[in-house]
Amino acid sequence: MNPEHLVTEWVKEAVANIYGEGAKEKFFQTQATRKEFEGDITAVMFPLLKFSKKSPEITGEQIGQYIATNFKEVESYNVVKGFLNIKFTDSYWIETFKTIASTDNFGQLPKSGKSVMVEFSSPNTNKPLHLGHIRNNLLGWSVARLLEANGHNVIKVNLVNDRGIHICKSMLAWQMLSGEETPQNSGIKGDHLVGKYYVAFNDMLKKEIKELQAKGISLEEAEKSAPLLKAAQEMLVKWEKGDAQVVDLWKKMNGWVYEGFDKTYKRMGVSFDKIYYESQTYLLGKELVKEGVAKGVFIEREDGSVWCDLSDNGLDEKLLLRADGTSVYMTQDLGTAHQRFAEYNLDEHIYVVGNEQNYHFQVLKLLLKKLGFEWADNLYHLSYGMVELPQGKMKSREGTVVDADDLIENMVSTARENSLEMGKLDDMPKEEKEHLFEILGLGALKYFIIKVDPKKTMLFDPKESIDFNGNTGPFIQYTHARIRSILRKAKEQNLEAKITSSQIAPREREIIKLLNLFPDKIREGGKEHSPAIVANYAYEIAKEFNQYYHEVSILKEEDLNIKLQRLALINIISIVLRKAMGILGIELPERM
């Protein structure tokens, strides 16, 4: 049993026996003992004064004495004001260590029977993935892995935004400028090629607008009447009507983008169980909107447009269908949510989308509730902060984004340079070196992004992320490689890691206590939808090991039993590090 839970049960029993009263759960508060005090778990006495009718100090002494007398796991106790600090025996922590070592798949929680869908990525097919997409993909992937570790059945999905005016802008620019340029004849990755024409369109559009302004037309009017924009709008109308020529061009250029996306996803280590396409789902919500009108939930105006008045909920009116009968994003999301819950019988649906869409998902839940779908309460918007850069915000149409492929390549190159400077890889085969540089570069990128609480805006600093010191991926990767090196040397000496001693050093107690928290961190991270909790936990373990490594001797320890036990301890550390970082999609090397 978790030691906090154990102390809670002891305090409950003490209160019932000393004061003759049973107390409800809310009266029992426990926490890890602060480092400046002696103890492992602290019980808070203040809520219990209601039963003891005595001072916090006397209450703590009475309960502490009862626990120390009745439970063999307790070595000692002390009371500091209203806090009872319980210290467990070495044998208790040895038994805990044995339990951790013998538990198959330690950290994996039992099957919950719940089905959870996680939607993430959601790229547009008019440009390559960029740094913002990287945070979305890495967060979505690690949240899905974290929920799997919580015992849920998880379905990872992607909704590709493959239609709309922005797609037509790339298509039109390609028609006008390309000379039939393709990924094959240009050597340019498909998503980058299409993105190049999206930027070109906006460059041409800016030029047109300036020319119109020079003729005395206002900026607002010039932006509306620019011939290029009108041409893109006409192309969109043709696409929606199924014009064969436009649809063929759309399929061809989207095909290039999908091939490019697949390469980026593969390198990031991201995959999906199902991919939805907006071109196939944008009409799904129309029937629901019609039902809403029939029920009087939605209002159809004289021009044929459909709205929902949310003023009773402190919001405004929301458009659901345009006057020409075309759908909006909200219409689509109503339809896809209904389809997914019907198809998968979901217990929860998580949308991994930036915080600029908070209002959208607030409205989505309200509309589904108004339509009578109780499962609307099971929608969760994992709202994350934007990724900022020292030089300011990124703009796709101006071509100033930090491209995902370029960023990954730069991270791997930096990992290569840093590793070679350390001079420890001279005897490593070239292919193995390149694999190491890849996992170091990606590990640095992934960890730096995931370690930040999803709700927070983050500043991405590539140089800081790949530092081999501090709270970084490479620091944890290097720690794991150091442990594996020790274990390899032990194997060469025919030393078998096993728990053979009843003695543990103070630092070993702390490490066992920390390792024992792994299932709780998995549970907490799942509840908060925050893989950052697991990331920072992995860092704490790595930090504890490095302090331990500098304080005690492992292979040079003279007492064989203590040596074997220390090998067992660091082996478990490496296993937990691999599991924790695996949830984040980060590989740990055997050597560095």
pLDDT at 103 over 60: yes
pLDDT at 392 over 60: no
* Span(s) in the chain for CATH 1.10.730.10: 404-583
* Model pLDDT for residues 33-45, shown as the tens digit of each residue: 999 999 999 999 9
Cα distance between residue 580 and residue 590, in whole Å: 16
Query: Which whole number is the average pLDDT over 531-553?
Result: 97
pLDDT at 140 over 70: yes
Query: Which whole number is the average pLDDT over 451-461?
Result: 91
> Can you list the pairs that 99-104 forms with residues at least 24 positions away whose Cβ atoms lie under 8 Å?
100/512, 100/515, 100/516, 100/572, 101/499, 101/568, 101/572
Neighbours of 77 (CB within 10 A): 20
* Model pLDDT for residues 172-220, shown as the tens digit of each residue: 999 999 889 999 999 999 999 999 999 999 999 999 999 999 999 999 9
Concatenating the DSSP letter of every residue in 483-514 gives HHHHHHHHHHTT-------S---HHHHHHHHH
pLDDT for position 467:
85
pLDDT at 46 over 60: yes
Query: Which whole number is the average pLDDT over 303-332?
Result: 92
- Residue-averaged pLDDT of the chain: 94
Reported confidence tier of residue 400, pLDDT bands at 50, 70, 90: low
Nearest Cα to 512, choosing from 580, 570, 581? 570
Reported confidence tier of residue 25, pLDDT bands at 50, 70, 90: confident
Query: Which whole number is the average pLDDT over 268-272?
Result: 97
CA distances for 147 relative to 12, 388, 497, 498, 525, angstroms: 32, 28, 32, 32, 9
Residue that is written with structure tokens 């983008």 in the block: 257
Reported confidence tier of residue 57, pLDDT bands at 50, 70, 90: very high
Query: Which whole number is the average pLDDT over 383-389?
Result: 87
Query: Which whole number is the average pLDDT over 326-353?
Result: 95
pLDDT for position 501:
82
pLDDT at 484 over 60: yes
Cα distance between residue 504 and residue 48, in whole Å: 34
pLDDT at 499 over 80: yes
Inter-residue contact 529 to 380 (CB < 8 Å)? yes
Query: For 404-583, CATH number?
Result: 1.10.730.10
Query: Which whole number is the average pLDDT over 102-123?
Result: 97
pLDDT at 384 over 90: yes
Query: Which whole number is the average pLDDT over 105-126?
Result: 97
Tell the burial category of 584 from Cβ atoms under 10 Å away from its Cβ (0-12, 13-18, 19+).
buried
The residues, any chain, with a CB within 8 Å of residue 504's CB and separated by 6 or more, are 90, 93, 94, 97, 512, 565
pLDDT at 394 over 50: no
pLDDT at 292 over 90: yes
pLDDT at 396 over 60: no
For residues 72, 73, 76, 82, the Cα torsion angle rounded to the nearest 10 degrees is -110
- % residues pLDDT > 70 (the chain): 98
pLDDT for position 238:
94
pLDDT for position 398:
46
CA distances for 524 relative to 195, 406, 530, angstroms: 40, 35, 8
Q: N- to C-terminal Cα distance for the chain?
A: 37
pLDDT for position 391:
61
pLDDT for position 397:
44
CATH superfamily of 3-88: Arginyl tRNA synthetase N-terminal domain (3.30.1360.70)
Nearest Cα to 86, choosing from 504, 519, 513? 513
Cα distance between residue 147 and residue 112, in whole Å: 10
